[in-house]
Amino acid sequence: MLPLRPALLAAALVAANLVHADVPASAPFTAAQQHVIQQLSASEVRAAVPKIASEAASSVAKTIEGEKQAIEVAKDTLEVGRKSVDWWLTALGLLMAVAGIGLPIWLSRKHDQVEIKLKEADTAKQKAEIALRHAEQLVESFSKQTSLIPSADDITGKLSTEVLEKLHKVKPPQVVTLIEQAWDAHRRKDWKTAKPLWELLSLIEGHDHNVWFNLGLTLVHTNQDWETAASYFQRSYLLEPTAKALHNWGKALSDLASSFSDEKKDLYFVQAFEKFAEADRLRPDHALTYNNWGAALAKYAETLSGSAKREYLVKACDKFTKAIKCEPESATAYKWKAFVLEALAKFLEGAELEDKLNEAAELRLKAEEMESQTS
């Protein structure tokens, strides 16, 4: 059974329908509802209508009020949402405006900075190219100059009148005097006097390759500071690439190597061999190069053992053979080859041993004969 208030409301609505329309009372209700309605008398319906109507109006009013409140809440929510959307749109607009203004400015500044760096790099490149051209011109000018100071390894006497006249034309008298004094001391093998004179000239005539070469020779003859001697021959070679500078450079390096017993020994010997090979390329078939080269190989062999020692002794023997071929009257090459053959004989036995020793003895005898003829 339906609750009372809904039932009464239903009865009122039915009564109203019965009065104003011909619609059957049972049309909008279920069978159970129809049964309840039928039990109500007409007088009860009429008596309940005002009360029912009042209650219905109050219920409707409350429903409407609730719906109004819900609509207000929804409106407030929508307003808050709209304001939030407006805020974000405003913020996004401002951000885009800032980006639209700031990004081009930032890009413009970066572009300017890159342009400045490129200009600086281009300026530095131009300066470097100018310096390089200047250096090349200096090297070319020096390479075209013929040294007026003779090489000390060619000394046979005093400076000729012709050389002195050329020197006086292009150099101050004091410099010419220093050259004469250094040359004379070198000729007399007065190394203590020659060395400081060549050192002084290296400060004045540092562009002359023979000054450095002559200074290096004074150290070689006094067996002093092989490393410094090597650096002097290196400077001479850089100013004027000559075979004599290279093979003397190699000799100084091999003598320097002999003063070490660690890995530096191998390093300097290898560098010496390279210098001799380059000297041979610049001036093939030069007896002095082969003698110095062979001596360095023999010295290095003495620091080795076994097959490695034998290998370098064979190489040294080959260099002395070439030296004898280039200069058959060189007693030095004969003596060095005899020494190497005697060292190689230790690896032989029987007839081969005897043959090597006999060959070495013949070479020594020939060297002694040559030295006796020149003494």
Q: What is the pLDDT of residue 213?
A: 96
pTM for this model (two decimals): 0.61
Q: Which H or E element spans position 309?
A: helix 306-326
Which CA distances in Å does 124 have to 118, 128, 129, 138?
A: 10, 6, 9, 21
| pLDDT of 74 | 61
Query: What percent of the chain is predicted at pLDDT more than 90?
Result: 52
359, pLDDT greater than 50: yes
Q: What is the pLDDT of residues 317-329, one digit of tens each?
A: 999 999 999 999 9
Fold of 152-374: 1.25.40
Residue 147 CB partners (closer than 8 Å, separation 6+): 208, 209, 210, 240
Structure confidence at residue 16 as a pLDDT band (50, 70, 90): very low
Report whether 157 contacts 222 (CB < 8 A). no
Chain position carrying tokens 């819900």:
70
The whole-number pLDDT of residue 140 equals 55
Averaged pLDDT score across all residues of the chain:
81
Percent above pLDDT 70 for the chain: 69
147 secondary structure, DSSP code = P
pLDDT above 80 (res 105) = no
Cβ pair 356, 342 in contact under 8 A: yes
Between 44-53, 98-107, 182-191, 359-368, the lowest mean confidence (pLDDT) is in 44-53
Q: Does 194 score more than 80 pLDDT?
A: yes
Tokens of 372: 């006796």
For 9, 215, 241, 244, 269, the CA distances from 282, given in Å and listed in that order, are 132, 22, 9, 9, 20
* Tokens linked to 91: 């913020």
pLDDT at 217: 94
Rounded Cα distance between 220 and 226, Å, is 7
- Give the residue, 163 or 146, on which the prediction is more confident: 163
Extents of the domains making up the chain: 4-82, 152-374
Chain-centroid distance of CA 79 in Å reads: 66
Look at residue 195 and tell me whether its pLDDT is greater than 50: yes
- Comparing 163 with 88, the larger pLDDT belongs to 163
Q: pLDDT-based confidence at 262, cuts 50/70/90? A: confident
Band (pLDDT 50/70/90 cuts) for residue 137 is low
How far is it, in rounded angstroms, from Cα 264 to Cα 252? Answer: 14
